[in-house]
Amino acid sequence: MHSSAEVQLKQSLAKGEPAAFESLFKTYFQMLAVFAKKMVGDLETAEDMVQEVFIKLYDKKDSLHLHGSLKSFLFQSVRNKCLDHLRSQQSKQGHHDYIKETAETLDFDPADLMEQTELEHKIYQVIAELPEQCQLIFKMNRFDGKKNQEIADELGISKRTVETQISKALKRLKTEVFDYLQVLVILFIYFFQKYF
Protein backbone atom coordinates (compact mmCIF):
# COMPACT_ATOMS: atom_id res chain seq x y z
CA MET A 1 0.00 0.00 0.00
CA HIS A 2 1.34 3.45 -0.92
CA SER A 3 2.68 5.37 2.07
CA SER A 4 0.32 8.36 1.72
CA ALA A 5 -2.65 6.03 1.36
CA GLU A 6 -1.50 4.10 4.43
CA VAL A 7 -1.18 7.29 6.48
CA GLN A 8 -4.71 8.25 5.51
CA LEU A 9 -5.98 4.77 6.31
CA LYS A 10 -4.30 4.86 9.73
CA GLN A 11 -5.98 8.16 10.48
CA SER A 12 -9.35 6.74 9.48
CA LEU A 13 -8.74 3.63 11.59
CA ALA A 14 -7.81 5.81 14.57
CA LYS A 15 -11.16 7.58 14.16
CA GLY A 16 -12.90 4.21 14.21
CA GLU A 17 -14.39 4.60 10.74
CA PRO A 18 -16.02 1.29 9.71
CA ALA A 19 -15.17 1.87 6.04
CA ALA A 20 -11.47 1.97 6.92
CA PHE A 21 -11.65 -1.40 8.66
CA GLU A 22 -13.55 -2.83 5.71
CA SER A 23 -10.86 -1.54 3.33
CA LEU A 24 -8.12 -3.05 5.49
CA PHE A 25 -9.94 -6.37 5.60
CA LYS A 26 -10.43 -6.52 1.82
CA THR A 27 -6.80 -5.59 1.16
CA TYR A 28 -5.13 -8.08 3.47
CA PHE A 29 -7.52 -10.90 4.38
CA GLN A 30 -6.68 -13.35 1.61
CA MET A 31 -2.95 -12.74 1.87
CA LEU A 32 -3.00 -13.20 5.64
CA ALA A 33 -5.04 -16.38 5.29
CA VAL A 34 -2.34 -17.86 3.03
CA PHE A 35 0.25 -16.81 5.61
CA ALA A 36 -1.71 -18.34 8.51
CA LYS A 37 -2.28 -21.60 6.62
CA LYS A 38 1.50 -22.08 6.52
CA MET A 39 1.45 -22.13 10.30
CA VAL A 40 -1.72 -24.01 11.21
CA GLY A 41 -1.91 -26.28 8.16
CA ASP A 42 -5.63 -25.85 7.56
CA LEU A 43 -7.27 -23.10 5.49
CA GLU A 44 -10.51 -22.93 7.48
CA THR A 45 -8.63 -22.61 10.77
CA ALA A 46 -6.28 -20.07 9.16
CA GLU A 47 -9.21 -17.92 8.02
CA ASP A 48 -10.69 -18.10 11.52
CA MET A 49 -7.39 -16.87 12.99
CA VAL A 50 -7.27 -13.93 10.58
CA GLN A 51 -10.91 -13.03 11.23
CA GLU A 52 -10.27 -13.04 14.97
CA VAL A 53 -7.36 -10.65 14.50
CA PHE A 54 -9.56 -8.23 12.56
CA ILE A 55 -12.39 -8.54 15.09
CA LYS A 56 -10.00 -7.79 17.96
CA LEU A 57 -8.59 -4.85 16.01
CA TYR A 58 -12.09 -3.43 15.51
CA ASP A 59 -13.09 -4.04 19.13
CA LYS A 60 -10.08 -2.00 20.27
CA LYS A 61 -10.64 0.81 17.77
CA ASP A 62 -11.20 3.38 20.52
CA SER A 63 -7.74 2.79 21.96
CA LEU A 64 -5.96 1.91 18.73
CA HIS A 65 -2.42 3.22 18.29
CA LEU A 66 -0.75 2.00 15.12
CA HIS A 67 2.96 2.64 14.65
CA GLY A 68 4.97 1.50 11.65
CA SER A 69 3.68 -0.54 8.74
CA LEU A 70 0.08 -1.73 8.84
CA LYS A 71 1.07 -4.83 6.87
CA SER A 72 3.83 -5.72 9.33
CA PHE A 73 1.47 -5.15 12.24
CA LEU A 74 -1.16 -7.45 10.73
CA PHE A 75 1.32 -10.19 9.83
CA GLN A 76 2.80 -10.12 13.33
CA SER A 77 -0.66 -10.16 14.92
CA VAL A 78 -1.73 -13.14 12.82
CA ARG A 79 1.56 -14.94 13.57
CA ASN A 80 1.02 -14.46 17.31
CA LYS A 81 -2.58 -15.63 17.03
CA CYS A 82 -1.52 -18.78 15.18
CA LEU A 83 1.22 -19.52 17.70
CA ASP A 84 -1.31 -19.19 20.53
CA HIS A 85 -3.60 -21.58 18.67
CA LEU A 86 -0.81 -24.11 18.16
CA ARG A 87 0.17 -23.94 21.83
CA SER A 88 -3.45 -24.44 22.82
CA GLN A 89 -3.75 -27.45 20.52
CA GLN A 90 -0.51 -28.81 21.90
CA SER A 91 -1.79 -28.45 25.44
CA LYS A 92 -4.99 -30.28 24.59
CA GLN A 93 -3.39 -33.09 22.65
CA GLY A 94 -0.24 -33.51 24.71
CA HIS A 95 2.04 -33.85 21.72
CA HIS A 96 5.17 -32.25 23.17
CA ASP A 97 7.41 -33.02 20.22
CA TYR A 98 4.94 -31.47 17.80
CA ILE A 99 5.03 -28.00 19.30
CA LYS A 100 8.82 -28.16 19.55
CA GLU A 101 9.15 -29.02 15.87
CA THR A 102 6.55 -26.42 14.91
CA ALA A 103 8.31 -23.73 16.90
CA GLU A 104 11.55 -24.54 15.12
CA THR A 105 9.92 -24.24 11.71
CA LEU A 106 8.42 -20.91 12.74
CA ASP A 107 11.77 -19.42 13.72
CA PHE A 108 11.82 -17.11 10.73
CA ASP A 109 12.41 -13.56 9.68
CA PRO A 110 8.83 -12.17 9.43
CA ALA A 111 9.82 -9.94 6.52
CA ASP A 112 11.08 -12.92 4.51
CA LEU A 113 7.93 -14.95 5.12
CA MET A 114 5.76 -11.94 4.26
CA GLU A 115 7.52 -11.67 0.90
CA GLN A 116 7.12 -15.39 0.28
CA THR A 117 3.44 -15.24 1.22
CA GLU A 118 2.84 -12.30 -1.09
CA LEU A 119 4.56 -14.16 -3.90
CA GLU A 120 2.46 -17.28 -3.38
CA HIS A 121 -0.65 -15.13 -3.26
CA LYS A 122 0.35 -13.56 -6.58
CA ILE A 123 0.96 -16.98 -8.14
CA TYR A 124 -2.46 -18.25 -7.09
CA GLN A 125 -4.05 -15.05 -8.40
CA VAL A 126 -2.41 -15.55 -11.80
CA ILE A 127 -3.54 -19.19 -11.91
CA ALA A 128 -7.10 -18.15 -11.04
CA GLU A 129 -7.08 -15.69 -13.96
CA LEU A 130 -6.07 -18.31 -16.55
CA PRO A 131 -8.71 -19.44 -19.08
CA GLU A 132 -10.87 -22.20 -17.62
CA GLN A 133 -9.39 -25.12 -19.59
CA CYS A 134 -5.82 -23.87 -19.17
CA GLN A 135 -6.33 -23.48 -15.42
CA LEU A 136 -7.86 -26.95 -15.08
CA ILE A 137 -5.07 -28.65 -17.03
CA PHE A 138 -2.36 -26.78 -15.13
CA LYS A 139 -3.84 -27.69 -11.74
CA MET A 140 -4.27 -31.34 -12.74
CA ASN A 141 -0.64 -31.48 -13.81
CA ARG A 142 1.10 -29.40 -11.15
CA PHE A 143 -1.17 -29.84 -8.13
CA ASP A 144 -2.60 -33.34 -8.71
CA GLY A 145 0.61 -34.73 -10.23
CA LYS A 146 -1.09 -36.20 -13.29
CA LYS A 147 0.95 -36.91 -16.41
CA ASN A 148 0.10 -35.19 -19.68
CA GLN A 149 -1.32 -38.35 -21.26
CA GLU A 150 -3.50 -39.02 -18.19
CA ILE A 151 -4.95 -35.53 -18.43
CA ALA A 152 -5.53 -35.91 -22.17
CA ASP A 153 -7.37 -39.21 -21.67
CA GLU A 154 -9.46 -37.85 -18.80
CA LEU A 155 -10.50 -34.69 -20.65
CA GLY A 156 -10.80 -36.29 -24.08
CA ILE A 157 -8.24 -34.02 -25.71
CA SER A 158 -4.87 -34.55 -27.37
CA LYS A 159 -1.64 -34.78 -25.41
CA ARG A 160 -0.32 -31.93 -27.56
CA THR A 161 -3.19 -29.70 -26.36
CA VAL A 162 -2.30 -30.49 -22.78
CA GLU A 163 1.35 -29.62 -23.38
CA THR A 164 0.38 -26.36 -25.10
CA GLN A 165 -1.92 -25.29 -22.26
CA ILE A 166 0.69 -26.05 -19.59
CA SER A 167 3.27 -24.08 -21.58
CA LYS A 168 0.88 -21.12 -21.83
CA ALA A 169 0.25 -21.22 -18.08
CA LEU A 170 3.96 -21.27 -17.28
CA LYS A 171 4.68 -18.38 -19.65
CA ARG A 172 1.89 -16.37 -18.03
CA LEU A 173 3.26 -17.11 -14.57
CA LYS A 174 6.79 -16.13 -15.56
CA THR A 175 5.55 -12.89 -17.11
CA GLU A 176 3.26 -11.90 -14.24
CA VAL A 177 5.62 -12.76 -11.38
CA PHE A 178 8.93 -11.89 -13.02
CA ASP A 179 9.62 -8.90 -10.76
CA TYR A 180 9.60 -10.99 -7.61
CA LEU A 181 13.13 -11.97 -6.59
CA GLN A 182 12.12 -15.37 -5.23
CA VAL A 183 9.93 -16.48 -8.13
CA LEU A 184 12.24 -19.25 -9.36
CA VAL A 185 12.56 -20.75 -5.89
CA ILE A 186 8.83 -20.70 -5.23
CA LEU A 187 7.96 -22.05 -8.67
CA PHE A 188 10.43 -24.88 -8.11
CA ILE A 189 9.01 -25.72 -4.69
CA TYR A 190 5.36 -25.63 -5.72
CA PHE A 191 5.37 -26.81 -9.31
CA PHE A 192 8.47 -28.84 -10.09
CA GLN A 193 9.63 -30.69 -6.97
CA LYS A 194 7.56 -33.78 -7.77
CA TYR A 195 9.50 -34.31 -10.99
CA PHE A 196 12.95 -34.54 -9.39
**Using one digit for the tens of pLDDT, what is the confidence trace for 77-100?**
898 888 888 877 765 454 445 444
Q: What share of the chain is helix, strand, coil (3-state, %, to 5)?
A: 80, 0, 20
- pLDDT of 116 reads 66
- pLDDT of 113 reads 60
pTM: 0.50
**58 with 20: CB under 8 angstroms?**
no
110-195 has which fold?
Answer: Arc Repressor Mutant, subunit A (1.10.10)
Locate the domains of the chain by residue range: 3-105, 110-195
One DSSP character per residue, 83-140 reads HHHHHHHHHHHT-HHHHHHHHHHT---HHHHHHHHHHHHHHHHHHHTS-HHHHHHHHH
Per-residue pLDDT of the chain (196 residues; tens, 9 = 90+): 556 777 788 778 877 788 888 888 888 888 888 888 888 888 888 899 899 998 888 888 777 777 777 888 888 889 888 888 887 776 545 444 544 454 445 445 555 566 666 667 777 788 888 899 998 998 888 877 888 999 999 899 999 999 999 889 888 877 776 555 444 454 455 554 444 4
**165 with 134: CB under 8 angstroms?**
yes
**Using one digit for the tens of pLDDT, what is the confidence trace for 99-120?**
445 444 544 555 556 666 666 7
Class assignment of domain 3-105? mainly alpha
